[in-house]
Structure 1
Amino acid sequence: MIRVLVVDDSAFMRKLISDYINEETDMTAAGTARNGKDALEKVRTGNFDVITLDVEMPEMNGMEALRSIMETCPHPVIMVSSLTTQGAEQTITALELGAVDFLAKPSGSISLDLHHVKEEMVEKIRTAAQVDAGKKMAPSAPAMQIAKDEPDGISLDGRKTVAIATSTGGPKALQVLLSGLPEDLPAPVFIVQHMPPAFTQSLANRLDQLSRLHVKEAQDGEVAKAGTVYIAPGGRHLAVRRMGRSLITEVLDTPPVNGHRPSADVLFSSLAGVDGFSHVGVVLTGMGADGATGLAEMKKAQDCLLITESQRTSIVYGMPKAARQRAGAEHSLDIGDIAGFLSASLLPGLNK
Structure 2
Amino acid sequence: MAERGPGAGPIKVLIVDDSAVMRQALTSRLHASAGIEVIAAVPDPIFAMRRMNQSWPDVVLLDLEMPRMDGLTFLKKIMAIRPTPVVICSALTERGARTAMTALAAGAVAVIAKPATGLRGFVEDSSDDIVTAVRAAAAGRVRRPDTATRPAVPPPVPHRPGTPPGAAGPVVAIGASTGGTQALETVLTALPRVDFGIVVVQHMPAVFTNAFAARLDPMCQVTVKEAADGDPVRAGHVLVAPGGRHMELRNSDGRYRVRISDGPPVNRHRPSVDVLFRSVAEAAGPGALGIIMTGMGDDGARGLLEMRRRGALSIAQDEATCAVYGMPGSAVALGAVDREVPLPSIAEVIRQHG
TM-score after normalising by structure 2: 0.89
Residue number in structure 1 paired with 2:250 = 241
How far the C-alpha of 1:308 sits from its partner, in A, is: 0.6
Opposite residue 331 of structure 1, the aligned amino acid is R
Deviation at residue 194 of structure 1 after TM alignment: 0.7
Q: Percent identity?
A: 36
Equivalences for residues 222-301 of structure 1 within 5 A: 222-275=231-284, 278-301=287-310
Corresponding residue for residue 165 of structure 1 = 175
| Aligned partner letter, 1:336 | P
Residue 328 of structure 1 is aligned with which of 331, 336, 339? Answer: 336
**Unaligned segments of structure 2, at least 5 residues:** 1-9, 164-168
Instruction: Give the C-alpha shift of residue 11 in structure 1.
Output: 3.4
Gaps of 5+ in 1: 347-352
Whether 1:106 aligns to 2:111 is: no
Report the equivalent of 2:98: 89
Which residue does the alignment assign to 1:350? none
Q: Please list the CA deviations of residues 224-248 of structure 1 after superposition, one character each: whole Å capped at 9, or x if unmatched.
A: 1111101111111111111112112
Shift of 1:86: 4.9
Q: Secondary structure at the match of 1:162?
A: strand
| Residue 315 of structure 2, aligned match among 307, 318, 322 | 307
Give the letter aligned to residue 175 of structure 2: A
Cα RMSD for the two superposed structures: 2.1
Deviation at 1:339, TM superposition (A): 0.7
1:198 aligns with 2:207: yes
CA deviation digits over 1:273-301, x for unaligned, max 9?
12575110000100111111111111112
Q: In structure 2, the residue corresponding to 1:192 is in which secondary structure?
A: strand
SS in 2 for 1:102: strand
Using the TM superposition, give the Cα deviation of residue 93 of structure 1 relative to its aligned residue in structure 2, in angstroms.
Answer: 0.8
Preserved contact between residue 146 and residue 344 of structure 1 (Cα < 8 Å): no
Q: Tell me the number of residue pairs that the alignment of Structure 1 and Structure 2 aligns.
A: 338
Change (3 A) 1:258 1:103: same
In 2 relative to 1, CA 274–124 (structure 1 residues): closer, same or farther, beyond 3 Å? same
Say if 1:219 and 1:82 are closer, same or farther in 2 by CA, change over 3 A: closer
Q: What displacement does 1:134 show?
A: 3.9
Match of 1:182 in 2: 192
Q: Quote the residue 2:5 is aligned against.
A: none
Alignment deviations for residues 8-46 of structure 1 (CA, whole Å, 9 cap, x no partner): 223343233222221223111112322112222322331
Cα distance between partner residues in 2 of 1:177 and 1:211: 10
C-alpha separation in 2, matches of 1:176 and 1:192: 16
Please say if residues 4 and 30 of structure 1, whose CA atoms lie closer than 8 Å, have aligned partners that are also in contact.
Answer: yes
CA distance in 2, matches of 1:12, 1:266: 37
Following the alignment from structure 1 to structure 2, what is the Cα–Cα distance between the partners of residues 17 and 163?
36
Offset of residue 83 of structure 1:
5.9
DSSP 3-state at the match of 1:99: coil
8 Å Cα contact 1:51-1:78 kept in structure 2: yes
8 Å CA contact 1:146, 1:153 repeated in 2 = no
* CA 146–12 in structure 1, closer or farther in 2 if over 3 Å, else same: same
Matched, 1:130 2:139: yes
Name the SS for the 2:348 alignment partner.
helix
The Cα shift of 1:182 comes to 0.9
- The answer (yes or no) to whether the contact 2:289–2:353 under 8 Å persists in 1 is no
Q: Deviations over 1:187-230 (max 9, x none)?
A: 11000111121111111111112110001111112221111101
- 1:23 lines up with 2:32 in the alignment: yes
Deviation (angstroms), 1:47: 3.0
Go from structure 1 to structure 2 and tell me whether the alpha carbon gap of 1:297 and 1:155 turns closer, same or farther (over 3 Å shift): closer
Partner of 1:41: 50
Q: For the Cα contact (< 8 Å) 1:140–1:177, is it kept in 2? A: no
Map residues 45-56 of structure 1 onto 2, 5 A cutoff: 45-56=54-65
In the TM superposition, residue 344 of structure 1 has moved relative to its aligned partner by: 2.8
